[in-house]
């Protein structure tokens, strides 16, 4: 196997370093892709896995001013290697987060909710009453989109794959604030018209699947609407009929959180603004952690296996 649990020495604390005790770190699809070598970010090997998580500061170097022992921190960027019990990191690789939010919210904050926040904010200027359609609505990003949209008065049409426990999933997404939950098959059915009696056609479509269902989703977009692709779970291309471009002038865009962070590395205001907005939603109970299964680090193999099973709507979180 590519993955092993190893005991390593904690390196000496440099002047600009921060010694962190990791608390919890999730297993995300991108983490698996990085291990498989199919992701555009590859760490020089041997490397520690995990791009997301939360830790507590134990000690800081003498030049470190923004952090102190007891503070909670999350990665400022991908590639930190969060699947470990402790680490020593340069200060600029960490972002402080409030320690009064639930630990699972903090552990799952830097990737999925940030992605959801950006795709809702950066492509179409949505107003209360507008709607968004998204596939893989039960994913980490999907669950965050539902809640952030609900908090802003934006309606969501949520597409999921048909599955044995569909009613249970529908109920869970409705409880998060989903307006409509439908299966991929329903996208092609005339009953879709009923949804648009109460909900306007979406100006924004969010795609992390690809393949046929994405083409079907696109058909329901308003003229001049935008589809943003941020993942490709089906590993199939996005097929767009020529008529969608000519007669409806739809826009196809892409989004990658890692790139957004690179582009905004000098713009700490926009990063802080996003983090504050998300932490406010969490404190008000309007944004919760995705459904999680907590797994002790030594059981990491079982957690990795579970994270790759189809139809598992629970995110595996390593407790460190």
Catalytic machinery residues: 39
R_g of the chain, CA atoms, integer Å: 20
> Which tokens belong to 17?
């370093």
Report whether 41 contacts 34 (CB < 8 A). Answer: yes
- 3 state DSSP class of 18: strand
- 3 state DSSP class of 162: coil
- What beta strand segments (E) does 150-277 contain? 155-160, 180-183, 204-207, 226-229, 251-254
Of 111, 128, 139, residue with least CA distance to 50:
111
DSSP for 249-303, written as a single string: --EEEE--HHHHHHHTTT-HHHHHHHHHHHHHHHHTTSS-PPSEEEEEGGGHHHH
Strand partners, 90: 17
Helix, strand, coil shares, percent, the chain, to 5: 35, 20, 45
- What beta strand segments (E) does 103-169 contain? 131-134, 155-160
């Amino acid at each position: 196997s590519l993955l092993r649990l190893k005991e390593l020495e904690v390196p000496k604390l440099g002047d600009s370093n921060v010694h962190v005790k990791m608390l919890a770190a999730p297993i995300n699809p991108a983490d698996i892709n990085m291990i498989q070598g199919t992701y555009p970010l590859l760490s020089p090997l041997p490397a520690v896995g995990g791009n997301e998580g939360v830790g507590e500061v134990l000690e800081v170097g003498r030049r470190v001013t923004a952090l102190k022992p007891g503070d909670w921190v999350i990665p400022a960027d991908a590639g930190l290697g969060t699947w470990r019990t402790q680490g020593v990191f340069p200060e600029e690789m960490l972002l402080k987060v409030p320690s009064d939010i639930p630990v699972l919210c903090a552990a799952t904050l830097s990737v999925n909710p940030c992605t959801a926040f950006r795709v809702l904010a950066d492509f179409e200027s949505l107003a209360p009453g507008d709607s968004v359609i998204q596939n893989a609505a039960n994913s980490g990003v999907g669950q965050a989109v539902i809640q952030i949209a609900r908090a802003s008065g934006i309606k969501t049409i949520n597409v999921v794959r048909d599955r044995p426990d569909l009613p249970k999933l529908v109920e869970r997404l409705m409880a998060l604030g989903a307006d409509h939950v439908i299966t991929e098959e329903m996208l092609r059915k005339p009953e879709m018209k009923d949804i648009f009696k109460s909900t306007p056609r979406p100006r924004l479509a969010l795609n992390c699947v690809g393949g046929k269902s994405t083409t079907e989703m696109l058909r329901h977009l308003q003229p001049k609407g935008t589809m943003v692709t941020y993942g490709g779970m089906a590993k199939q291309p996005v097929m767009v009929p020529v008529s969608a471009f000519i007669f409806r002038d739809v826009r196809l865009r892409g989004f990658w959180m890692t790139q957004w962070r690179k582009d905004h590395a000098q713009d700490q205001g926009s990063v802080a603004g996003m983090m504050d907005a998300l932490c406010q939603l969490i404190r008000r109970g309007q944004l919760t952690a995705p459904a999680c299964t907590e797994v002790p680090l030594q059981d990491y193999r079982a957690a990795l296996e579970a994270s790759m099973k189809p139809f598992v709507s629970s995110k595996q979180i390593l407790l460190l």
